[in-house]
Amino acid sequence: MTSLTAIAQSNTVLKQAPSAKKIFLAGVGAVGSTFLKQVSNQQSLRVLGVCNSKGVLWLDHSQTDFSINDLHRAPQKEWKTIVRKLASYEKGSVIFVDASGNRDVAELYPELLSTGIHVVSPSKLANTQSQQKFDELHSTARRNNVKFLYETNVGAGLPVISTLKNLIDSGDKIIEISGVVSGTMTYLFSQLDKGKSFSDTIIRARSLGYSEPDPRDDLSGEDVARKFLILARTCGFRLEREEIEVESLIPAPLVNVDSSTFLNRLHEFDNEWKERLLHEKKKGNTLRYSGSMKDGEIRVGIQSVPVSSPVGNLTGTNNLIEIRTRRYLDQPLIIQGPGAGKEVTAGGVLADVLKIV
Please report the sign of the dihedral spanned by the C-alpha atoms of residue 347, residue 40, residue 112, residue 146.
Answer: negative
Task: Give pLDDT tens digits for 147-182.
Answer: 999 999 999 999 999 999 999 999 999 999 999 999
CATH number of the domain to which 323 belongs: 3.30.360.10
CB 142 within 8 A of CB 114: no
Q: What angle do CA 278, 280, 282 make, to 5 degrees?
A: 70
Which one, of 33, 47, 117, lies nearest residue 79 by Cα? 117
Q: Which residues lie below 8 Å from residue 179, measured CB to CB, with a gap of 6+?
A: 290, 291, 292, 311, 319, 320, 321, 322
Question: Do 206 and 126 share a structural domain?
Answer: no
User: Is the same domain home to 309 and 182?
Assistant: yes
Measured distance CA(286)–CA(325) in Å, rounded: 27
State yes or no: pLDDT of 339 exceeds 90: no
Catalytic pick from 22, 124, 147, 227? 227
pLDDT recorded at residue 20: 76
- Type of residue at 195: G
6-20, 31-45, 197-211: lowest mean pLDDT where? 6-20
What confidence tens digit (pLDDT) does each residue in 191-205 have? 999 999 999 999 999
Same structural domain for residues 92 and 189? no
Res 7 pLDDT > 80: no
Q: How distant is the alpha carbon of residue 7 from its chain centre?
A: 24
Tell me the torsion sign for CA atoms 326, 330, 333, 335.
positive
What is the domain extent for residue 275? 161-340
Residue 7: which of 52, 31, 55, 43 has the closest Cα?
A: 43
How open is the CA angle 335-153-254, to the nearest 5 degrees?
A: 105
Q: What ranges in the chain are assigned the alpha helix state H?
A: 5-13, 30-39, 79-87, 103-106, 109-114, 131-143, 160-169, 183-193, 198-208, 216-219, 222-234, 259-265, 270-281, 342-356
Does 308 share its domain with 196?
Answer: yes
How far apart, in whole angstroms, are the C-alpha atoms of residue 112 and residue 106? 10
Whether residues 145 and 174 share a domain: the answer is: no
- DSSP secondary-structure letter at 129? S
Same domain, 170 and 137: no
97 and 209 inside one domain: no
Which one-letter amino acid corresponds to residue 322?
E
- Is 21 a catalytic site residue? no
Is residue 61 helix, strand or coil?
coil
Whether 17 and 36 share a structural domain: yes
| Whole-number pLDDT of residue 208 | 87
**Distance of CA 116 to CAs 37, 39, 102, 144, 147, Å?**
26, 22, 22, 6, 9
DSSP state of 75: P
Task: Clarify whether residues 21 and 150 are in a common domain.
Answer: yes
Residues 145 and 226 in one domain: no
pTM as predicted: 0.90
Question: Given this model, what pLDDT does residue 31 score?
Answer: 94
CATH assignment at residue 20: 3.40.50.720
The amino acid sitting at 323 is: I
- What's the whole-number mean pLDDT along residues 306-321? 95
The count of structural domains within the chain is: 2
Residues 144 and 211 in one domain: no
Please indicate, yes or no, whether residues 138 and 176 belong to a single structural domain of this protein. Answer: no
